[in-house]
Amino acid sequence: MKVELIAYTPEPEAVVAAAARLCYSDLGASEIRENLSPEEVRSFLEKLISIGHLSPLEHASFTFAIEGVSRALSHQLVRHRIASYSQKSQRYVDEENFEYITPPSIAADPDALELYRTKLEEIRAAYRQLARIVPREDARYILPNATETKLVCTFNARSLLNFFRLRCCRRAQWEIRELAHRMRQEVRQVAPTLFALAGPSCETEGICWEGKMTCGLAREVRRRGVPDHGRYNLGT
Ligand SMILES: Cc1cc2nc3c(=O)[nH]c(=O)nc-3n(C[C@H](O)[C@H](O)[C@H](O)COP(=O)(O)OP(=O)(O)OC[C@H]3O[C@@H](n4cnc5c(N)ncnc54)[C@H](O)[C@@H]3O)c2cc1C
């Protein structure tokens, strides 16, 4: 899997802080931004996040190039509606030599791996045959969820917090969880305060919504003590 943050709002934290301050000030956003020190930006963002005033976070956006992921992953990713996507087309791009993603559980089991590879090669042969007699857009119907795909996606910071909350969770499917962790790593480098507490509610609040299917981390976090430096309140 390759995940790269290829573009983002310049000075995302200052932009969000200035937009939020504007709500409570007579001054214009440019003037506010010029007068905010990095320390003020940081403490203002922490406060903003802890009280759940998250709409100003929508002014900062982040664009990722993602490669080496499966169509099983991309199907889950695009369920996140508050984002923009561009994905490699199976209508316009020939898939005769498609790459495929192998889940770790299959890679770890020689019999499963042998079966997996054999069947995927059969599918490849069938695709090639079909693509000679029907349009690519129809031949692709035989391609599996394992088929490798490439995407570009753009999220705003608020939507990313929702994404990390759902997909960094240990209960999320392994491939999209790995993607979420990589994306979180990328944005933390350029907006550390905005994403300091990004992640599942067990990590930030000691609360798990998975009921009986909980992995138990929330209990562990509560035992260690929930961070008191602020919580994401995704409610407003
Ligand atoms: C562990 C896990 C298991 C899952 N299993 C399944 C499954 O079995 N089947 C399945 O179909 N999906 C499943 N999903 C996908 C899930 O239901 C969501 O579609 C996906 O996580 C996107 O989340 P979202 O709607 O919060 O994100 P976004 O679409 O980005 O929306 C962000 C937020 O905006 C608001 N919003 C967006 N659109 C609307 C709207 N139309 N109306 C009102 N509010 C809106 C909501 O508050 C929402 O939380 C699963 C997700 C996870 C994390």
**How does pLDDT run across 35-78, given as a tens digit for each residue?**
899 999 999 999 999 898 999 999 999 999 999 999 999 999 99
Place 232 in a pLDDT band, splitting at 50, 70 and 90: low
Taking the C-alpha atoms of residue 2 and residue 164, their distance in angstroms, rounded to an integer, is: 18
Q: Which residue has the tokens 């008191």?
A: 228
Q: b/e per residue, 168-178, with b = 16+ CB within 10 A?
A: bbebbeebbbb
pLDDT of residue 223: 79
Angle of helix 174-190 versus helix 157-167 axis, rounded to 10: 140
- Segment 96-131, tens digit of pLDDT: 999 999 999 999 999 999 999 999 999 999 999 999
Residue 147, number of CB atoms within 10 A of its CB: 21
- The DSSP code for 27 is S
Class of domain 2-85+149-200: alpha beta
Examine the residue annotation and report whether 42 is marked as an active-site residue of this protein.
Answer: no
Instruction: Kindly report the protein residue whose alpha carbon is nearest to atom 32 of ligand 1.
Output: 82
Domain span(s) for CATH 3.30.1360.170 in the chain: 2-85+149-200
Q: How far is the CA of 79 from the centre of ligand 1 (A)?
A: 6
Give every CB contact of residue 68 below 8 A, 6+ residues apart in sequence.
Answer: 1, 2, 99, 101, 148, 150
Single pTM value for the model: 0.92
Catalytic residue (choose from 71, 140, 167, 231): 167
Residue 86, number of CB atoms within 10 A of its CB: 11
Q: How far is the CA of 121 from the centre of ligand 1 (A)?
A: 34
Helix, strand, or coil here: 2?
strand
pLDDT of residue 228: 55
Over the chain, what is the mean pLDDT?
92
